[in-house]
A and B are shown apart, each in its own frame.
Chain A
Amino acid sequence: MNAPATPAIDVAGLECGYDDNILLENLNFQVGRAEIFFVIGGSGCGKSTLLRHLVGLRKPTAGTVKFFGESFGEADASRQRALLKTFGVLYQGGALWSSLTLRQNISLPLEEYTALKADEREDIIAMKLAQVGLTGYENYYPSEISGGMRKRAALARALALDPAIVFFDEPSAGLDPLTSRNLDELIVNIRDMLGTTCVVVSHELASIFAIANRVIMLDREARGIIADGDPRVLARESADPRVRSFLNRGEIA
């Protein structure tokens, strides 16, 4: 394989915000392949905004985002479509299409981007639903299942095309500790099995310490990254009291 050293995501000089309200400026970081990368920070620091910029829902006011060395913003429309196949997004509320059953929800990306036969699609759908523990719920509509199940079904949809990068927006928000832990295990599992790069926006400390390889911490006043590294090391040794305070739930060690 050529150039395996290119990082999965390369962010350079990125500026995020809405109109004239700049939340984050001059962001620079790289996410390595098969890394479980957490973006943390207090409420309102721009975590979700950063995510929307990374997945291309918002155009950055400055700077570039490169996936495997290729800039999303500068690619032409057909190349952008090809790049879109390489990542999946798990939105905060699941964002399942409410007029489609779970089967149809997962089937849509497969129909759109693959040439699979119907029975092969069914196999993949059954496997993805089994991976998230929703076997038997193929014919249910999103409104008929619980919030946690919706989130897992949304993950199955995000994984349908075996994307190289999966973005998670607050995956454990609103989930019970067990479901949340299962989701963590699922994230580690897909990384181990398929070498998927996982970018997780979260402030769930349990998840951070359990599965994160690396975290970056954003701050509203600093308008940027105030910490970057292994969360366990940062919690103990970070020079910045804000970082230690956050990672130790306010009890500065």
Chain B
Amino acid sequence: MSVPPEIPCAARVETRVEDDCLLVELGGCWRITERRPSWIEAVAGQTPARVRLAFAADIGPWDSALLLFVHEGRQWCRETSTPCDLSRLPGPVQQLLRQLAVANEALKPADRSRDFLSMVGLAAQDVWRKTCDITTFVGECVLGAAGLVRHLNKFRWRDCLEEMQQCGAMALPIVSLISLLVGLIMAYQSAVLMRQFGADIYVADAVGLVMVREMGAMMTAMILAGRTGAAFAATLGNMKANEEIDALKTLGIRPVDFLVMPRLVALAFMMPLLALYANALGIVGGMVVSLGILDVPPAAYWVETQSAISLSDVTTGLIKASVFGLLVGLAGCHCGLQADRSAAGVGRAATSAVVTGLLLIILFDAIFAVAFNVLGL
């Protein structure tokens, strides 16, 4: 019998000696969620020749708690080599007790731990497989891009526009705030240095150049790595868990064409626009600080900025932004498509999308720095 909640009664054990036999009677309600009597206390140090278990007249509902008690008793009997008679217990109890005993002695659960060497081997295999996966994915994206150019009418423009809105327009508030603050911070930092040389006006050069060449693209890319890269990974990871990706494959549609290309195109277009916007706001931030603490009028600041920044500075920044956008998109989509089919897998995919995105951004920024230096841009 199971345990309706409304009956307040406790499990009870009574022992009685009949001839040389210890009779253990079980009464009351036995609930696994309540405290149950212990066998050792019930026997209380007696050393009977035989033990017999039976239900008392007032036995109420019982569950696994009773089984555990009887099981404990049976083990005690085995250890003290006392004969144990369970035949007075009703059929269901005996049947469940057999199940408990069988489960208890059943084959041990499969040991799934591994030794150090095989772990190293598996990790190496894993690295190799991941490298292959990434190469394949990048290759597929290149093929997808080629296909996109050839069949422009088959491209999912609607999805692309939606993604553009999500990763571009919707990111405007956070990009505004962060780039304005970055401009402010840089102006403050350079003001300290410039004022020592009486070169206050050159704050405009510093803020303008750093913003346009470096920070505009970089900060936007970082924001999008956290915002959009993670979202791509979570969306695609969840689609994979729902077998939506499989459904595309069996229809003969490549997931890269259908899901990845619109996202990549959206990011590659929106990133330069966002970076340009970030540049402008960064310069405004610098202007505010210059006016506030250096008394440089905005008009002078603007003229100085114009003379400091050339078109090639802006272009290098925008090229970077576009590449960073592609990297963030690639990292997000790749992590999403490789996600495990579980809730934890989707979480891991989002995490690794952000981490990979940030890593790639910094890595490629360094490569760009060297390359632009060599090219003299």
Contacts and interface: CB of A to CB of B under 8 A. Distances in A.
Interface of A: 1-3, 6, 8, 33, 67-70, 82-83, 85-86, 98-99, 103, 110, 113-116, 120, 123-124, 126-127, 129-131, 135-143, 161-164, 192-197
A139 B196 CA distance: 67
Interface stretch (B95-103, B206-214, B263-271, B355-363): B95-103
A138 B107 CA distance: 11
A3 B7 CA distance: 9
Given A33-B4, A163-B2, A139 B344 contact: no
A139 B110 contact: yes
Contacts of B109: 103, 136-139
Nearest to A100: B344
30 contacts: A6-B6, A8-B4, A70-B6, A85-B5, A98-B342, A99-B344, A113-B32, A123-B100, A129-B103, A130-B103, A135-B107, A136-B106, A136-B109, A137-B109, A138-B110, A139-B109, A140-B110, A143-B340, A143-B342, A162-B31, A164-B2, A164-B4, A164-B61, A193-B92, A194-B63, A194-B92, A195-B1, A195-B2, A195-B61, A196-B2
A67 B99 contact: no
B60 A1 contact: yes
A126 B104 contact: yes
Nearest to B100: A127
A127 B103 contact: yes
A132 to B, nearest CB: 11
A68 B104 contact: no
Contact of B64 (A67, A124, A136): A124
A48 B342 CA distance: 23
B33 interface: yes
Give the 4 A-B residue pairs with the shortest CB-CB distance, closest first. Answer: A162-B63, A138-B109, A126-B103, A98-B342
A68 B2 contact: no
Contact of A139 (B95, B112, B345): B112
Contact of A120 (B1, B68, B95, B345): B68
A82 B112 CA distance: 37
Interface in B150-174: none
A162 B103 contact: no
B249 interface: no
Given A98-B343, A139-B112, A195-B61, A68 B4 contact: yes
Most chain A Cβ neighbours within 10 Å, of B3, B107, B111, B340: B3
Given A124-B64, A131-B99, A68 B107 contact: no
Nearest to A86: B5
Contacts of A110: 32
B341 interface: yes
Given A98-B343, A103-B109, A143-B342, A116 B68 contact: yes
A116 B5 contact: no
Given A98-B342, A114-B32, A124 B5 contact: no
Nearest to B3: A164
Contacts of B67: 127
A130 B32 contact: no
Contacts of B345: 98, 143
Interface in B60-74: 60-61, 63-64, 67-68, 71
A143 B346 CA distance: 13
Contacts of A70: 5-6
Contacts of B111: 139
A76 B63 CA distance: 26
Contacts of A123: 68, 71, 100, 103-104
A6 B4 CA distance: 10
B65 to A, nearest CB: 8
Nearest to B5: A86
